[in-house]
Amino acid sequence: MRDTHREFKDRLYGQLARLGKAIASPHRLEIVELLAQGERTVDSLATEIGLSLANASQHLQALRQAALVESRKDGLFVYYRLSDPDVFELSKVIRTVAERRLAELDRLVHEHFGNRADAELVPMDELLKRARSKQVVVLDTRPASEYVAGHIAGAISIPVEDIQRRLKELTKGKEYVAYCRGPYCIYADRAVEILRAHGRRARRLGQGFPEWRSAGFPVSQGAEPGGVR
């Protein structure tokens, strides 16, 4: 009986270790966080991360073999998506533990983003209250395709590269909260910097769209019905 139980434990933890092995790669962790924004083709993932198509495909196959991603074919293109919302939760837990336990991560983030104290990061619950009362305009600074796949309900899509061109639409009398893919995405920081440089009141959401959706806050899909308000 004892030998049978030992065999069970070995096989059990072997299955759990499959997940750890599947995400034990910087590129695969990034792929998971990108797919948390919405499904993507192999080509777009390869371009985003700076990999060859063959290398990106190998990483996706490793994730697929561990049942962390799924795929569908549409014409000549193969689209990948997370197999379950908990896959993003897994990557978020890894990030949270790293933030708490790895001093090197804190140094790395500070070197890249500087002191974010001036950015006045907005907590998700505060944004929810202020957005509902129409006190702020919420800006989604991710690529438009990611906005269409899913976004904070009521948010306006203005990709960060379009902020400068569309400043006239963003009047000085309002307050803006920008968000993007997550806490280490630079899009919202750049948007806030541009807006403030042009006399707008702007802050960034402390988290990103996947964290907002994971918390159960209101989300929408599709393009804005009437363009920018």
Element (H, E) at 16: helix 2-22
| Widest CA span in the chain | 74
180 assigned to active site:
yes
Burial string for 208-218 (b: 16+ CB within 10 Å, else e) reads bbbbbbbeebe
Structure tokens at 218: 């209101």
Radius of gyration of the CA atoms of the chain, in A: 20
Name the DSSP letter for residue 123. Answer: P
Catalytic residue among 180, 188, 191, 192: 180
What count of other Cβ atoms lies within 10 Å of the Cβ of residue 44? Answer: 17
Structure tokens at 11: 């096989």
Structure tokens at 134: 């129409």
Burial class from Cβ neighbours inside 10 Å (0-12, 13-18, 19+) for residue 112 reads: exposed
Q: Are strands 69-74 and 77-82 parallel, antiparallel or unpaired?
A: antiparallel
d(CA 164, CA 168): 9
d(CA 229, CA 217): 22
Residues annotated as catalytic (active site), given as ranges: 180
